[in-house]
Amino acid sequence: MLKDRLKEARKKAKKSQKDVVDAIGITQSALSQLETGAVSSSSHLPAIARFLNVDSYWLQTGEGEMLVSASQDNGFNNVSFDVPTLRKIPLLDFVQAGIFHECGYDGINPKGESYTTYESNKPECVFSLEVSGLSMAPEFNPGDKLVVDGSKAPYPGCYVIAQNGSHEATFKKYRAVGYDEHGRETFELVPLNPDFPTMCSTQQEIRIIGVIVEHVRSFKK
């Protein structure tokens, strides 16, 4: 947990809470809340990681190596890195995503959790999915992670999560094709793999759940 990693990093660096507070500009109360687990994220975490000489990604997620590698701290770097704050988001399955709507995450037990640096005007409407099936191959493969913004309106050429009447969501490319008699945009949901069918809003009811804003692929074997 973040609180444990933070205390471990501070003790390894032989720094007191006051040292961190004075160096970073964070309040004593805010630091205490991080170390007790009362809060699980802060925009100050990258700065705290640099002060304690630990990896920012490790501090925020627990993944990777704790200490900054020598190549990152060898005195030869002539660039600085702006490390964005990671936010925890629910990882849903496609059935859970099928009942997700603009009111945001409504208490479903998530499949797991994920992280994103994506900033939304409605952070409660952001969630993650793991690609399954081959309908969007080869650009999107099973196991790839998607970050979805349920408050973002679809636009031509974007990738969306949608529901077509069943309880399960589907992942496709959005293609606008015109307008109906009521002035509403009509569209197709197109797979990247030609072996799978295209869906059309004029032929079946389709509800757009959200727009894909991030695609994360792991190259681990």
Question: Do the domain assignments include residue 167?
Answer: yes
Question: Do the domain assignments include residue 77?
Answer: no
- Distances in Å between the Cα of 167 and the Cα atoms of 65, 93, 113, 174 are 40, 11, 21, 20
Per-residue model confidence as pLDDT tens digits over 116-167 = 888 888 888 999 999 999 999 999 999 999 999 999 999 999 999 998 877 7
Clarify whether residues 123 and 173 are in a common domain.
yes
Residue 186: name the closest of 175, 195, 171, 198 by CA. Answer: 175
Confidence at residue 172, expressed as pLDDT on a 0 to 100 scale = 96
Could you count the other beta carbons within 10 Å of the beta carbon of residue 66? 16
CA dihedral 151, 152, 153, 158 (to 10 degrees): -140
Clarify whether residues 138 and 192 are in a common domain.
yes
At 38, which CATH number? 1.10.260.40
Clarify whether residues 20 and 122 are in a common domain.
no
Question: Do the domain assignments include residue 205?
Answer: yes
- Distances in Å between the Cα of 181 and the Cα atoms of 160, 177, 185, 201 are 24, 13, 10, 13
Q: How far apart are CA 128 and CA 86, in angstroms?
A: 14
Question: Do the domain assignments include residue 79?
Answer: no
Per-residue model confidence as pLDDT tens digits over 159-202 = 999 988 777 899 999 999 998 888 889 999 999 999 999 999 99
In the three-class reduction of DSSP (H, G, I as helix; E, B as strand; rest coil), residue 138 is classed as coil
> Which domain covers residue 7, as residue numbers?
2-72
pTM: 0.62
Identify the H or E element spanning 31: helix 28-36
Of 48, 72, 96, the position where a domain reaches its end is 72
Clarify whether residues 94 and 180 are in a common domain.
yes
Per-residue model confidence as pLDDT tens digits over 4-58 = 999 999 999 999 998 888 888 788 888 888 888 887 777 788 889 888 889 888 8
Domain count across the chain: 2
At 200, which CATH number? 2.10.109.10
| Residue 157 neighbours by CB under 8 Å, 6+ apart | 173, 174, 175
Question: Do the domain assignments include residue 221?
Answer: no
Question: Do the domain assignments include residue 78?
Answer: no
Residue 212: name the closest of 137, 142, 138, 120 by CA. Answer: 120
Is pLDDT above 50 for 76? no
Could you tell me how many residues make up the chain?
221
